Amino acid sequence: MTNSTPAGGSKPTTATLLIRSAGLSDLPEICAIEQASFPTPWSPRALREDIAREGTVYLVAELNGATVGYGGMWVYADEAHVGTLAVCAESRKDGVGTALMLSLLRRAAAYGAKMVVLEYRVSNTAAAGLYKKLGFGVNRIRKGYYQESGEDAVEAILFGLLGPEVRERLDAIKTDWERRHGGSFTETE
């Protein structure tokens, strides 16, 4: 994601990755990725309302100026709930999802959240791998959670967001990200 050759043997790239807060002007790009990523995508109206709702944090990932991913969460009291996360198909498996999640978790901690909750389909191996790597543990299976298919959801929780163990784990993941990409991603509010 940077303009230097990565030390870890990953492919060199001239791209730079920016993670920034999303606004309503990002809705068309967010909707396009949402449509392409989920079997029952949220409608543009539902996404618009969610982005505008107080207490939600939406981020987009920009690669060389193009929106390639987004994530959204709600923060209430000492808990955060990641409601949505997606990366466009062409940019997957290149650290964008990790960068978005690291930024969401950093912001959740800044708001004082002690735990983070999310759900994903039991068949979603990519999501399972990403969240496990970040330290989420499986809390319970929610039977038939996805109404259109009847598929079960995994509810996963990251406890101790403000504690030293989680902080060290997330710092190590960020360091590994930088090693693999030859530099850091940029974050702006």
Ligand X SMILES: CC(C)(COP(=O)(O)OP(=O)(O)OC[C@H]1O[C@@H](n2cnc3c(N)ncnc32)[C@H](O)[C@@H]1OP(=O)(O)O)[C@@H](O)C(=O)NCCC(=O)NCCS
Among 88, 77, 66, 70, CA closest to 23: 70
Give the β-pairing of 186-188 and 17-21.
parallel
Sign of torsion, CA 78 83 89 90? negative
Give the residue with the Cβ less far from ligand X, 59 or 86. 86
Does position 129 interact with ligand X (CB under 6 A)? The reply is yes
The residues in 15-34 that bind ligand X, with binding defined as CB under 6 A, are: none
* DSSP character at residue 1: -
Catalytic, 119? Answer yes
- For the bound state, the minimum distance from the C-beta of residue 30 to ligand X, rounded and expressed in Å, comes to 12
Q: Which stretch binds ligand X (CB under 6 A): 13-21, 105-113, 117-125, 144-152?
A: 117-125
CB 92, min distance to ligand X, A = 3
Helix (H, G, I), strand (E, B) or coil at 9: coil
Choosing from 52, 66, 110, 126, the residue that interacts with ligand X (CB under 6 A) is: 126
Q: How many CB atoms lie within 10 A of CB 130?
A: 18
Q: Is 131 a catalytic residue?
A: yes
List residues binding ligand X (CB under 6 A).
Answer: 37, 85-87, 92-98, 120, 124-127, 129-130, 133
